[in-house]
């Protein structure tokens, strides 16, 4: 198996089929809805909050609300009141099951539920999927996080409608240092490995440092790409603003950090400062333009055309050209 990551793979251009990049369509269908981009801000407290979730939903973008210090049912009610789709995160504890029960009992429901725990290849996730499917059979269930084909096979067999791939590639992640496990450093090839067996959509989660990494994720099988650090630090981002030597930064911390947990137990995340960026809408516009360009380099007009390109691995033992025959 080739081992590579975002920073040592490049995609190879094919003959252009458009006269303008504006002819390239970045839209994606995911869970029965169509979104402008195959991109979703990470479900983290310093990346999005309820107003940002509502803005994303109202403007044609996918979102997954985080699950920390939040009343999921109240959030779902408020999105419904605005006529917007509901996409929440869940753990696997009795309180999380009770949220599902309440959403069902009140008839609020949820369009998407992302079961999001550190080690998603677990019986607790199987039980949670079964619980959601029993109480809210029309909800699209995303389950994770995992990093192996065996896990993807199991989650799909247990009823997940999509899987989320990435153990430890995140910018504020310290899982590989603390535990010795993960896909950090080879996330893109882990995605490729999982794509061999996946029969349902996969979300590539973590490790995106440049807009071109979105196209690379799509090339290796992602239907959707979850991004934390690139979205943290915007004017609208919920992280606290901090001034250092006259420079403005916003905090970005891991969901398994002591900053998020409020205590130092089972810590697998850290806090960093992201330079303050500008408006989120401007970043999304630039991402869309860059992805339109990626599609044109792929010789296509639609997102899926990126899947057909060849690629090279730069440097190291796995270096070489990989051609689709």
Ligand X SMILES: Nc1nc2c(ncn2[C@@H]2O[C@H](COP(=O)(O)O)[C@@H](O)[C@H]2O)c(=O)[nH]1
The response to whether 31 counts as a known ligand-binding position is: no
Residue 6 or 311 with smaller CB distance to ligand X: 6
The response to whether 67 counts as a known ligand-binding position is: no
Catalytic annotation on 173? yes
Among 255, 283, 294, 296, the residue binding ligand X under the rule CB under 6 A is 255
The response to whether 4 counts as a known ligand-binding position is: no
Question: Rule CB under 6 A: is residue 145 a binding residue for ligand X?
Answer: yes
- Nearest approach in angstroms of CB 218 to ligand X is 16
Are residues 299 and 14 in contact, defined by beta-carbon separation less than 8 angstroms?
yes
Site map 255..294 versus ligand NDP, x via CB under 6 A:
xx---------x-x--------------------------
Residues paired with residue 249 on neighbouring β-strands, in sequence order = 242, 275
Give the H/E segment covering residue 229: none
E-assigned strands of the chain? 9-11, 28-30, 33-35, 39-41, 87-90, 112-116, 140-146, 162-165, 202-205, 224-227, 241-244, 247-253, 271-275, 311-313, 320-322
DSSP 8-state secondary structure symbol assigned to residue 200: S
Among 120, 206, 221, 238, the residue binding ligand X under the rule CB under 6 A is 206
Given the DSSP bridges, would you call strands 247-253 and 271-275 parallel, antiparallel or unpaired?
Answer: antiparallel
What is the rounded CA–CA span in Å between residue 294 and residue 102?
44
Q: Is the peptide bond before 40 cis (omega within 30 degrees of 0)?
A: no
Q: Considering CB distances under 5 to 8 angstroms, the limit depending on partner class, which of ligand NDP, ligand X, none binds residue 5?
A: none
| Of residues 254, 282, 279, 281, the one with CA closest to residue 268 | 254
Question: Rule CB under 6 A: is residue 233 a binding residue for ligand X?
Answer: no
- Nearest approach in angstroms of CB 118 to ligand NDP is 3
Question: Rule CB under 6 A: is residue 41 a binding residue for ligand NDP?
Answer: no
Question: Rule CB under 6 A: is residue 173 a binding residue for ligand NDP?
Answer: yes
Strand arrangement of the beta sheet that strand 247-253 belongs to:
241-244, 247-253, 271-275
Residue 12 or 70 with smaller CB distance to ligand X: 70
Question: Rule CB under 6 A: is residue 109 a binding residue for ligand NDP?
Answer: no
The response to whether 88 counts as a known ligand-binding position is: no
The response to whether 197 counts as a known ligand-binding position is: no
Among 268, 284, 294, 313, the residue binding ligand X under the rule CB under 6 A is 268
Are residues 133 and 194 in contact, defined by beta-carbon separation less than 8 angstroms?
no
- CA dist list (Å): 4 to 9, 191, 193, 214, 280: 7, 10, 11, 15, 30
Q: Which stretch binds ligand X (CB under 6 A): 95-103, 104-112, 164-172, 301-309?
A: 164-172
Catalytic residue positions? Answer: 173
Tell me the binding residues: 202-225
List residues binding ligand NDP (CB under 6 A). Answer: 91-93, 116-119, 122, 124, 145, 166-168, 173, 175, 206, 255-256, 266, 268
Tell me the binding residues for NADP(+): 202-225
List residues binding ligand X (CB under 6 A). Answer: 42, 44, 145, 166, 168, 170-173, 175, 205-208, 226-229, 254-257, 268-269
């Amino acid at each position: 198996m080739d081992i590579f990551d975002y920073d040592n793979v490049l995609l190879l251009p094919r003959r252009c089929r458009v006269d303008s990049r504006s002819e390239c369509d970045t839209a994606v269908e995911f869970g029965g809805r169509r979104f402008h981009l195959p991109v979703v801000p990470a479900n983290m407290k310093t990346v999005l909050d309820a107003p940002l979730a509502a803005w994303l939903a109202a403007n044609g973008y996918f979102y997954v609300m985080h699950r920390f210090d939040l009343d999921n049912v109240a959030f779902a009610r408020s999105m419904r009141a605005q006529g917007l789709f509901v996409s929440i995160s869940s753990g696997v504890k009795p309180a999380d099951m009770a949220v599902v029960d309440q959403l069902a009992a009140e008839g609020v429901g949820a369009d998407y539920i992302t079961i999001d725990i550190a080690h998603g290849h677990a019986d607790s996730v199987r039980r949670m999927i079964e619980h959601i499917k029993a109480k809210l059979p029309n909800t699209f269930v995303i389950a994770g996080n995992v990093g192996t084909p065996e896990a993807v096979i199991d989650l799909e067999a247990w009823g997940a409608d999509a899987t989320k791939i990435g153990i430890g590639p995140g910018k504020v992640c310290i899982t590989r240092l603390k535990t010795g496990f993960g896909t950090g450093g080879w996330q893109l090839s882990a995605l490729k490995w999982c794509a061999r067996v996946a029969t349902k959509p996969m979300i590539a989660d973590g490790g995106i440092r440049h807009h071109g990494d979105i196209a690379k994720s799509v090339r290796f099988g992602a239907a959707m790409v979850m991004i934390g650090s690139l979205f943290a630090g915007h004017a609208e981002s919920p992280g606290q603003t901090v001034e250092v030597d006259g420079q403005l930064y916003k905090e970005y911390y891991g969901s398994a950090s002591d900053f998020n947990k409020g205590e130092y137990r089972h810590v697998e995340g850290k806090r960093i400062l992201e330079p303050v960026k500008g408006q989120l809408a401007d970043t999304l516009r630039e991402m869309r333009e860059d992805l339109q360009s990626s599609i044109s380099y792929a010789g296509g007009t639609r997102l899926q055309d990126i899947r057909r390109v060849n690629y090279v691995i730069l440097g190291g033992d796995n270096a070489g050209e990989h051609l689709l025959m």
